[in-house]
Amino acid sequence: MTELKTVGLFALTALAEIAGCYLPYLWLREGKSIWLLIPGALSLVAFVWLLSLHPTAAGRVYAAYGGVYICMAILWLWTVNGIRPTMWDIVGSVVALLGMAIIMFAPRGA
């Protein structure tokens, strides 16, 4: 799997997880419709399925995915919540993405 496909797959995975958690949040905290639980649950199923598509060890995928999740959560903060990220949010996201890149793309010994 190429690096770009890997990062794209991680981004889709993070979007599915964040949406799957945000929709029940809207019901619980914002008084929105209970029907949001259905697309929320489907989104979490998609999240698990997307994680399973990576061809490397699950533990490595979970560790590296965390870095992409951090970046996507900050983008969600900005685009959905309307809160502009601080410089520290951006720096933290870059550090997390660097960690993901090291975990996923470092050369492996045989």
What is the number of structural domains in the chain? 1
Four-point Cα dihedral 106, 8, 2, 102, nearest 10: 0
Q: Show the domain range for 98.
A: 3-105
Instruction: Name residue 42's amino acid.
Output: L
**Higher pLDDT pick, 1 / 68:** 68
* Vertex 66 angle, CA 10 and 109, to 5°: 80
In a domain, 110, yes or no: no
**Higher pLDDT pick, 58 / 35:** 35
**Higher pLDDT pick, 56 / 1:** 56
Confidence category of residue 75, pLDDT binned at 50, 70, 90: very high
- pLDDT at residue 82 greater than cutoff 90: yes
Predicted confidence at residue 110, as pLDDT, reads: 63
Q: Which residue has the tokens 């797959």?
A: 9
